[in-house]
Amino acid sequence: MNPVRVFVVDDHAMVRHGLRAFLQTQDDMRVVGEAENGRVAVDELRRLSGPETLPDVVLMDLQMPVLDGVGAIAQLRAEHPDLKLVALTSFSDTSKVHAALEAGASGYLLKNSDPDQISAAIRAAARDQVYLDPQVTMALAQSLRNPTTPVLSAREREVIQLVARGYTNQEIADDLFISERTARTHVSHIISKLGLSSRIQAALWAIREGIASAS
């Protein structure tokens, strides 16, 4: 079996070198490149876009200058749909986990993970499977067991119902007879109030809470 080709992205050189040194001890893996931020990674993987040279899995830090990990994951998935990306970061809060997974990550690891977890996540991604750090899994499970339910105003409930139906800000404005700017403000306030990071998460929250229908 051919080794899994891995590309490492992190703005700290010592982290990149440490990961490279560890991965080189794995018989079934080979590091084929590295980058110090998301923009460099996107540019480098455009260059390595041939079927024989594009890596199988990218280990992606999330907190980086120029272009962060979530933005890089989304762009790389759009340009290389078969590319597998694993977030490797210091942050375990659920909003960042959701953002990375929605952008297209195949896994989410913390930088204090055991080396065996890193190699397991890479192998899982190469098999088109999702791998989550156990601490992250616990945080996600806890958020589902004890969800916070902020109180939305009647108008906010109307807006989030339309968000869940896939309405744009302009469509929301037309339906509720308000300006597009007011609709946009309502949506931004709702997302912030719920502690979310995107319209998609807001829509999923509304469906989960029974405010909107999944149909």
pTM of the model: 0.65
In this prediction, residue 140 carries a pLDDT of 65
Q: What string of pLDDT tens digits covers the 215 residues of the chain?
A: 789 999 999 999 999 999 999 999 999 999 999 999 999 999 999 988 766 688 999 999 998 988 999 999 999 998 998 899 999 888 777 777 878 888 888 888 888 888 899 999 999 899 888 888 877 777 666 665 555 567 788 899 999 999 988 899 999 999 999 999 999 999 999 998 888 888 888 888 888 788 886 55
Domain identity same for 159 and 137: no
Asked which of 144, 172, 190 is the last residue of a domain, the reply is 144
Q: Tell me, what's the pLDDT at 19?
A: 93
Strand segments, DSSP code E, in the chain are 4-9, 29-35, 57-60, 84-89, 107-110, 131-132
Placement of tokens 């290389």 in the chain: 80
* Structural domain includes residue 120: yes
Complete edge-to-edge strand list for the sheet that includes strand 29-35: 29-35, 4-9, 57-60, 84-89, 107-110, 131-132
Give the pLDDT of residue 210. Answer: 81
- Residues 32, 107: one domain? yes
Enclosing domain of residue 182 = 154-208
**39 plus 129 within the same structural domain:** yes
CB neighbourhood size of 23 (10 A): 20
Based on the fold, state whether residues 131 and 190 are members of the same structural domain.
Answer: no
CATH of the domain at 68: 3.40.50.2300
CATH classification of the domain holding 160: 1.10.10.10
Query: Does residue 213 form part of some domain?
Result: no
- The reported pLDDT for the residue numbered 103 is 85
Same domain flag for 172 and 128: no
pLDDT of residue 144: 53
What's the rounded Cα separation, in Å, for the pair 28 and 105?
21
Q: What is the pLDDT of residue 197?
A: 81
Instruction: Please give the pLDDT value at position 203.
Output: 85
Q: What is the pLDDT of residue 150?
A: 72
